[in-house]
Structure 1
Amino acid sequence: MQILSRPYGALHYRLDGPTGAPVVLMANSLGTDLRLWEAVLPLLPQRLRYLRYDKQGHGLSDLGGADRIADHAADAAALIEAVAPGPVVVLGLSIGGLIAQRLAADRPDLVRALILSNTAARLGTPDSWQTRIEAVERDGMASIADAVMERWFAPAFRATPALALWRNMLARTPAAGYVAACRALAGADQRQASAALRLPTMVIAGEADGASPPDMVRATADLIPGATFHLIPGAGHLPCVETPDAHAALMTPFLERHAA
C-alpha cells in the first residue's frame, strides 16, 4: 500500500503503469474508494500510468475534516507534486469531477487536460445535501444505501449480484467521511471558475444517471469553451463499473491525444 503523509494523516493511493510514463490522476465518487476504477483500468491505454487515491474519510485514507472542495483539490495537488510531476490528465467522476475542476482552476500548472464524468460544476443544492447529512447522522449509512443504488445504477445492473458489492462499499464508508464530503458538495459551486478554464476537456454523461442527469452534465460541458460532450446509452452514474467498455472507448482517444 502506498501512503502520502498529509498534515491530517495518511492519504492512501495506488500508482499503476510503466515507470516514467505520463500520468492520469483518477478522482472517484462520493461513497466509493479507489477500487471504483478496477473494471475500466485494463481497457485504457497501457502505456500510461494511472494514479488512484482514496479521498479523505474514504477507503484507507484518514479524515482531516475536509468540508470544502478546495481541501480535496489541495490533496490532489499534493499527490501530483509528490509522486507524479505534472502536468497530468485528471479524470474525475461525480465529486471527483468537482475536485478536478477546482484543481484545474487553482493549479493550472498541474493539469494538462480534464475528463469530467457524471459530474457538473454544481451538484445538488445546499438543502438537498443537508437532508442527506441529517439522514446519515440520524440513521447511519445503511439507511441511505438502497436509495443511492437507485441513483447510481440502471435497473439491469441493479438486478445483478454485483450490486451487493457496491451497496456494501457505500454502507461501510465511514459516516464522518461521507458527511464531510457532503458538506463540501453543499458549498461547491465551480460554475464561474469552470467557465474560465481553457484546457482540453471531455465531458461524459450516463443516459440513466439518477445522481447527475445528462442535462445537468451537458450544461457543464457548455460552460467550458471547447469541451466535448458524450452520452453513454443505458449507463448510470458509474459507467466505469456498469459499462466499462463504452466508458473506456470514449476516453482512450482523448488520453492518447492529451496525456503525453
Structure 2
Amino acid sequence: MSIMRLDDVDLHYRDTGPREAPALVFANSLGTDLRLWDDLLEHLPAGLRIIRYDMRGHGLSGCPPAPYKMGTLVRDAERLLDHLRVRDCVFVGLSIGGMVAQGLAVKRLDLLRGVVLASTASKIGTAQMWHDRIEAVARGGMSALSPGVLERWFSPAFRGLPEFAQWRAMLERQPPEGYAGCAAAIAGCDLLAATATLRLPALVIAGDEDGATPPDLVRETAQLIPGAEFALIRGAGHLPNVERPDAFAARLNAFLARIAHPR
C-alpha cells in the first residue's frame, strides 16, 4: 500500500508498471475507490505505467471534515503527479474524477498529454440536488442513498447479476463524510467556461443507460473541446468500465494509439 502524506490528507494510490513508461492515471467516481478500474486493467496494452488513487474521503485515503472544494480535489491530483514525477500522462476520470480531469487540464496542461472524460460533465446536477443528498447521508448514512444511486449507476440487466452486490458494498462502505465532502465539491462546481478553453486530445465516453449523467449531457461536454471524440457505450450505465470493460477498453486503446501513447 502506498500513501502520499499531504498537510491535510493522506492519499492512497497504486503505481504499477515501468517508472519510465508513459503514464495512464485513473481518478474514481463519487462513492467508489480505485478498485473501480480493476476489470479494465487486463484489457489495456502492455508497456504503460498505471497509476490509480483513492480520492480524498474515499477508499483508503484520509477523510478530512466536509465540505471539500473542487479546487482542492484538483490540487490533490496535481500534487500526486508531482510527487510521482509524472509528466505527459493521459488522465482518465469518471464522474467527479472527470471533473477533476477537466480542472487539472486547465490548471496544469504541462502534466497531461490527453484526457479521457467518462460519465461526466462540466456541471452535474443542481446545488440543491447535491445538498439534499448531503442531508440524506447525514441523517441515514450511506445505506439511505444506495438504492437510488445504484439504480442510476447500473443498467437493469447488471443489477440482476451476482457481482452487483459487491458494488453495493463498496458504495455503502465509503465514509459518509467523504461522500458529503465530495458532493459539496460537485455542488459548487461549474467548469463550462474553463473546459471550453481546453486544447488537448480528449475522449469523452458515455453509457447509453446512465441515469446520473445522461448521454446528451456528456455529449455537450465533448462539444466544448475542439476535436474531442465522443463514444457511446451500449448496454451500460454510469460505470461503463464496469459493465462493459471490453468496450470501454477498445475506445480507450484506440484513443491511446491515435495520440501515440505509448509512442
TM-score, normalised to structure 2, is 0.97
How many residues are treated as equivalent by the alignment? 260
* In 1, Cα distance between equivalents of 2:85 and 2:101: 16
Ranges in structure 1 where 5+ consecutive residues have no aligned partner:
none
Q: CA RMSD in A?
A: 1.0
Cα 1:245–1:84 shift into 2, 3 Å = farther
Name the SS for the 1:47 alignment partner: coil
Counterpart AA for 2:90: V
Task: Check the 8 A contact 1:153/1:235 in 2, yes or no.
Answer: yes
What is the correspondence of 1:168-179 to structure 2 with a 5 Å cutoff?
168-179=169-180
Contact 1:45 1:252 in 2 (8 A): yes
Deviation digits for residues 100-137 of structure 1 (CA, Å, limit 9, x no counterpart): 00000111111110100111111111010011111100
1:6 aligns with 2:6: yes
1:35 matches 2:35: yes
Contact 1:8 1:63 in 2 (8 A): no
- Counterpart Cα distance in 2 of 1:180 and 1:116: 21
Task: String of CA shifts for 1:55-91, please: whole Å, max 9, x gaps.
Answer: 0010010123461111011110111111142121100
Indicate the SS of the match to 2:42: helix
| Offset of residue 47 of structure 1 | 1.1
DSSP 3-state at the match of 1:196:
coil
Q: Which residue does 2:24 correspond to in 1?
A: 24
Q: Quote the residue 1:251 is aligned against.
A: 252
Query: CA offsets per residue over residues 159-199 of structure 1, 9 Å max, x none?
Result: 01111100011011000000000000001111000000000
Contact 2:91/2:115 (<8 A) preserved: yes
Aligned to 1:124: 125
1:225-245 deviation digits (Å, cap 9, x = unpaired) = 111111001111101111100
- Tell me how far apart the structure 2 counterparts of residues 7 and 203 of structure 1 sit (CA, whole Å): 33
In the alignment, what sits opposite 1:45? Answer: 45
Contact 1:23 1:84 in 2 (8 A): no
| Secondary structure at 1:43 match in 2 | coil
Question: After TM superposition, where is structure 1 displaced by more than 6 Å over at least 4 residues in a row?
Answer: none
Structure 2 unaligned runs (5+)? none
Secondary structure of the 1:30 match is coil
Pairwise CA distance, 1:48: 0.8
Equivalence map 1:158-237=2 (5 Å): 158-237=159-238
User: Hey, what's the Cα distance between the residues in 2 that align with 1:95 and 1:198?
Assistant: 21
TM-score computed with the length of structure 1 as normaliser: 0.98
Q: Distance in 2 between matches of 1:111 and 1:147?
A: 35
Once the two structures are aligned, what percentage of the paired residues are identical? 51
Alpha-carbon separation, structure 2, partners of 1:165 and 1:122: 29
State the 1:49 CA deviation.
1.0
